[in-house]
Amino acid sequence: MKPIWIVDDDPSIRFVLEKALARENLPTRSFTHPREVLDALADVTAGDPARQGPQVLVSDIRMPGGSGLQLLEKVRELQPGLPVIIMTAYSDLDSAVSAFQRGAFEYLPKPFDLPKAVELIRRAVEESQREEVTEERQTATPEMLGQAPAMQDVFRAIGRLSQSQVTVLITGESGSGKELVARALHKHSPVADGPFVAINTAAIPKDLLESELFGHERGAFTGAQTQRRGRFEQAEGGTLFLDEIGDMPFDLQTRLLRVLSDGQFYRVGGHAAVKAHVRVIAATHQNLEQRVKEGGFREDLFHRLNVIRLRLPALRERHEDVPMLTRHFLQQSARQLGVEPKRIADSALARLEQFAFPGNVRQLENICHWLTVMAPAQVISLQDLPPEVLEAPVYQPPMRAPVSAEPTAATVTSMPVAPLAPVAPLAPVVQMPAAPLPPSEMVGGLHPAVPVSAPVLAAVPSWSADAAAAPVASAHSWEQALETEAQKLLAGGQPEVWDALTRRFESRLIRTALLATHGRRMEAAQRLGIGRNTITRKIQELGLDAPDEA
């Protein structure tokens, strides 16, 4: 952990704090005046490997070398997220108010009670560490991932709102990523340089939520020994994200409505109005219209929040994003645990695509973390998946509108070209619907998340001469033929069965794609979801007499 920096010209204060923090295993570094602190911060900013920045800064307000308030302003410019605690005498309460206005985390009145001072510093350390984790996540990962049409609609909406500070209501199931959308709205808004402050209104007890939102004055209630800024003040000039707004207590809804209407509020126990220049984004998994009808949510507040509504799709509504998200979360889990990223077999990936994910993207992230820890091999196979996935019934998405039987240039996203990871027993490469569907009702002829063009589909069942003439509706014929052929080769002692069947599979697949595209390799590669160099190399390796480019 980084050290606590203590700035005070009084050596007794420095000594007492150093010893108290040392007993709590909190490292410290002490300074006698602000100039030393700024020089040390300059070394850290310049990247001096011998220097480590502060976790928390504790500074006196009046020192011979300069003012603690001036130091606070300069530190906020250099390290905006650094918690700064200002120490002051009781006679300097006006200065303490000024410190809060300039962004201080808290103030510590002198003479102070040592255990309470340590408790305050530890709270600042926890806040600092939370900010570091948030910044690390935002730096290390992309904002949002998704290629499904429903997610593209969300991305377009964020783009349209990028020049606006209008209030937004995000709806969607728990775990679908509503806070990610809120952060993206903030990042691409006119107030992007301001803070983003999030609060889950369902996670804080009712008695504390009012103080958490609006802050409180000293003495406002038992235990309020100091003035405290609420989330609205912390978000000044930026964005306040109110998660699970549907669970906000009814009486607090009135106060929130007043802030949205008047742009000002009062701290708990306060008498002076505080201006709020904050953009509000709210989110809920509940049906707020129904909550209004039931009397659990104020109708006027609902209309204040429901200026622009963004609906975030559940993961089961965008199953085509599961492979991309799975690989991303496996990489992320490996970084967090400091291990080599694991790969996932196509059979395991296909089973994940058939899972309903009641916990949405958050559940997929947890599964990937579990697999990183628990899967025994470097390649995750079908049997490595957790019981919640393996034992769940196959999810069948609602049928989409009938599509034209006319061939399209849709891409095969789940039919592998490279050899599959071996699993026992042999698993299907792509899962078909449980019951055959009429061609007019099939989405490209396969599982709705796996579009494929009509000529390619017609040529897939080609593992034997009999299967070549099989109709499209016999969904499992080629898989059964594959299993039969594998059993025959294994029973006959055929060596390298995997390579032999893979070559035959790839040969048929590439020939069929080239036939469908009249020999155009680029288009065939695009339909198969591989690169042109890959298809050229495969043609050479497999000895295919491919037609020339048209």
Give 97's pLDDT tier (boundaries 50, 70, 90).
low
Top pLDDT among 490 and 91 is at 490
90 lies in a domain? yes
What is the domain-level CATH number for residue 370? 1.10.8.60
Q: How large is the average pLDDT for residues 233-259?
A: 90
Q: What pLDDT sits at residue 323?
A: 92
- pLDDT at 424 exceeding the cut of 80: no
Top pLDDT among 379 and 458 is at 379
Q: What pLDDT sits at residue 99?
A: 66
**Window from 29-43, 263-277, 385-399, 421-435 with minimum mean pLDDT:** 421-435
- Mean pLDDT for the chain? 77
Asked if residue 325 and residue 288 are part of one domain, the reply reads: no
Please give the torsion angle defined by the CA atoms of residues 149, 155, 157 and 162, in that order, rounded to the nearest 10 degrees.
-170
Strand, coil or helix: 47: coil
Host domain of residue 361: 321-390
End of a domain among 361, 390, 419?
390
Asked if residue 186 and residue 280 are part of one domain, the reply reads: yes
- pLDDT at 131 exceeding the cut of 70: no
- pLDDT at 391 exceeding the cut of 60: yes
Q: What pLDDT sits at residue 27?
A: 92
What gap in Å lies between CA 517 and CA 134, rounded to an integer?
A: 48
Top pLDDT among 260 and 542 is at 260
Q: What percent of the chain has pLDDT over 70?
A: 77
Top pLDDT among 127 and 443 is at 127
What gap in Å lies between CA 482 and CA 405, rounded to an integer?
A: 27
Top pLDDT among 515 and 219 is at 515
- pLDDT at 437 exceeding the cut of 70: no
End of a domain among 390, 412, 429?
390
- pLDDT at 326 exceeding the cut of 90: yes
127 lies in a domain? yes
- Asked if 411 and 418 touch (Cβ cutoff 8 Å), the reply is no
Asked if residue 223 and residue 333 are part of one domain, the reply reads: no
- pLDDT at 450 exceeding the cut of 50: no
Asked if residue 348 and residue 282 are part of one domain, the reply reads: no
DSSP state of 372: H
Asked if residue 330 and residue 226 are part of one domain, the reply reads: no
421 lies in a domain? no
Number of domains composing the chain: 4
Q: Is the pTM of this model over 0.75?
A: no
**Window from 4-18, 74-88, 210-224 with minimum mean pLDDT:** 210-224
Q: What percent of the chain has pLDDT over 90?
A: 26
Top pLDDT among 97 and 298 is at 298
Q: What pLDDT sits at residue 96?
A: 58
Asked if residue 331 and residue 300 are part of one domain, the reply reads: no
- Asked if 317 and 303 touch (Cβ cutoff 8 Å), the reply is no
Strand order of the sheet with strand 308-311?
196-200, 239-243, 279-284, 168-171, 308-311
Asked if residue 112 and residue 129 are part of one domain, the reply reads: yes
**Window from 157-171, 219-233, 467-481 with minimum mean pLDDT:** 467-481
**Window from 37-51, 67-81, 369-383 with minimum mean pLDDT:** 37-51
Asked if residue 297 and residue 351 are part of one domain, the reply reads: no
Q: How far is CA 523 from CA 336, 408, 452, 498, in A?
A: 40, 12, 13, 28
412 lies in a domain? no
What is the domain-level CATH number for residue 218? 3.40.50.300
What is the domain-level CATH number for residue 54? 3.40.50.2300
Q: Of 148, 139, 145, 234, which is closest to residue 181 (Cα–Cα)? A: 145
- How many helices (H) does the chain have, and how many strands (E)? 21, 16
Asked if residue 451 and residue 519 are part of one domain, the reply reads: yes
Asked if residue 281 and residue 325 are part of one domain, the reply reads: no
What gap in Å lies between CA 534 and CA 550, rounded to an integer?
A: 19
Query: pLDDT digits over 19-73, tens only?
Result: 999 998 899 999 998 888 888 888 777 666 556 789 999 988 888 777 888 888 8
Top pLDDT among 129 and 48 is at 129
Give 302's pLDDT tier (boundaries 50, 70, 90).
very high
Strand, coil or helix: 288: helix
Q: What pLDDT sits at residue 453?
A: 32
Q: What pLDDT sits at residue 104?
A: 77
Asked if residue 353 and residue 282 are part of one domain, the reply reads: no
Q: What pLDDT sits at residue 130?
A: 67
Top pLDDT among 137 and 506 is at 506
Give 433's pLDDT tier (boundaries 50, 70, 90).
very low
368 lies in a domain? yes
Q: What pLDDT sits at residue 268?
A: 82
433 lies in a domain? no
Asked if residue 278 and residue 204 are part of one domain, the reply reads: yes
- Asked if 371 and 352 touch (Cβ cutoff 8 Å), the reply is no
**Window from 299-303, 332-336, 453-457, 465-469 with minimum mean pLDDT:** 453-457
Query: pLDDT digits over 458-501, tens only?
Result: 333 333 333 333 344 344 567 778 888 888 888 888 878 888 88
Measure CA 353 to chain center: 19
